[in-house]
Amino acid sequence: MVDGEDPITSPLFRPYKMGKFHLSHRVVLAPMTRCRALNELPNQALVEYYTQRSTPGGFLVTEGTLVSPTAPGFPHCPGIYTDEQVESWKKVVNAIHAKGAIIFCQLWHVGRASHPVYQPGGGTPISSTSKPISKAWKILMPNGSHANYLPPRALTTSEIPAVVEDYRRAALNAIRAGFDGIELHGAHGYLIDQFLKDGINDRLDEYGGSLANRCRFLMQVINAVVSAIGAERVAVRISPAIDHLDASDSDPLAHGLAVVERLNKLQQDLGSQLTYLHVTQPRYVARGQTEASSQGSEEEEARLMRTLKNAYQGTFMCSGGFTRDLAMQAIKDQDADLVSFGRLFISNPDLVHRLKVNAPLNRYVRATFYTQDPVVGYTDYPFLGQEQATNRPASRL
Note the pLDDT tens digit of each residue in 133-154: 999 999 999 999 999 999 999 9
Give the residue, 393 or 173, on which the prediction is more confident.
173
Residue predicted with more confidence, 291 or 44: 44
pLDDT above 50: residue 228: yes
Q: Are strands 21-23 and 16-18 parallel, antiparallel or unpaired?
A: antiparallel
Note the pLDDT of residue 302: 85
Q: For the residues 266-281, what does the mean pLDDT come to?
A: 97
Contacts of 266 (CB under 8 A, 6+ apart): 219, 222, 223, 226, 231, 274
Predicted confidence at residue 282, as pLDDT, reads 78
Active site includes 207?
no
> How would you classify the pairing of strands 126-127 and 138-140?
unpaired
More reliable by pLDDT, 391 or 220: 220
Q: Would the CA dihedral through 351, 355, 358, 362 be positive or negative?
A: positive
Radius of gyration of the chain (CA): 20
Give me the pLDDT at residue 185, please.
98
- The torsion of the CA quartet 238, 241, 244, 249, rounded to 10 degrees, works out to 100
Distance of CA 326 to the CA centre of its chain: 19
- Out of 16, 81, 118, 190, which one is annotated catalytic? 190
- Would you state the pLDDT for residue 300? 83
Mean of the per-residue pLDDT values for the chain?
93
Residue-level pLDDT at 8: 60
First to last CA, the chain: 10
Q: How far apart are CA 233 and CA 329, in angstroms?
A: 28
Query: Which string of DSSP letters, residue by residue, matches 295-322?
Result: HHHHHHHHHHHHHHHHH-SS-EEEESS-
Main-chain phi, psi angles of 246, to 5 degrees: 65, 20
pLDDT of 36 over the 60 cut: yes
Judged by DSSP in three states, 204 sits in coil
Q: How far, in Å, CA of 46 to CA of 62, rounded?
A: 10
Select the more confidently predicted residue: 43 or 396. 43
**3-class SS shares of the chain: helix, strand, coil, % to 5:** 40, 15, 45
User: Which candidate, 32, 62, 67, places its Cα nearest to that of 171?
Assistant: 67
- pLDDT, tens digit, 9 for 90 and up, residues 162-217: 999 999 999 999 999 999 999 999 999 999 999 999 999 999 999 999 999 999 99
In tens, the pLDDT along 4-32 reads: 455 566 899 999 999 999 999 999 999 99
72-89 mean pLDDT: 98
Under a CB-based contact definition with an 8 Å cutoff, are residues 360 and 11 in contact? no
Q: What pLDDT was estimated at residue 295? A: 41
Residue 97 has a pLDDT of: 98
The burial class, CB within 10 Å (0-12 / 13-18 / 19+), for 345 is buried
Mean pLDDT of 268-294: 70
Res. 394: pLDDT tops 70 = no
Taking residues 364-383, what's their average pLDDT?
A: 97
pLDDT band at 299 (very low <50, low <70, confident <90, very high): confident
Q: What is the DSSP letter of 383?
A: P
Short-list 332, 299, 266, 387, CA closest to 6: 332
User: Looking at residue 287, what is its pLDDT?
Assistant: 33
